[in-house]
Structure 1
């Protein structure tokens, strides 16, 4: 019983009404500002926003080859592509050899022993390749191909 008497809203409303009825010069602007702030906060919190899910994208597949190619056409295009790749590799090797020759002539002009430098570079590359092969062999261990022999 005692808890219910503490939660009686009539006493609170009565105190509020008595406070509002007192003559004060700024009571109405303060009351309006209070209602405006509370109302705007409630309006902002209660608003519901619903975002539509995005449309599913339309997928267009781009094919570079005709869908009905025969095996012979595929093999012919593979051969043509391989010939083109071989020609590009040969051209790249020619350019690299030309660049090496330019560096050799520059080295000879400056008094460097170009043959010794090339020999040392080749030995270093051979050592690196052997170390890489040994590392791969250690990682792989005995392969299935070696077991079948």
Structure 2
């Protein structure tokens, strides 16, 4: 056990380093620079990791749409505006995706690759997925909706007025 501690003592390490460093060698400076670069890189990587402070607390965002004394009609109107905006964004994204698909189709046609069947299969898959999502949404709504005759009457009135 004594021999083990003699080999790993700090004094022995300093003596070994000094013997190697002072020995004549053509690569002494290059080796020293490489060792410093590797050590510096490791310490820099560890310093960049951080992790010394607690994570920031979550930022709370208050929605101004939850104002008191709103009527059901006002809520319905705000929901319609938000729904229209969401549908417009979804339609814009779908149009962007369709342009990308048409570009791929043009490249496939130019290179002689058969693209019609893949395009139709993709279209069918997207439609099936859309129907699946709509069915899941309807199921959740049907499960959690509470009967509210006043709100339902206003909904029917608003739907009839929109038509």
Q: Do the two structures share a fold, i.e. TM-score over 0.5?
A: no
TM-score normalised by length of structure 2: 0.35
Which is greater in Rg? 1
TM-score normalised by length of structure 1: 0.38
Structure of greater relative contact order (alpha carbons < 8 Å, 6+ residues apart): 2
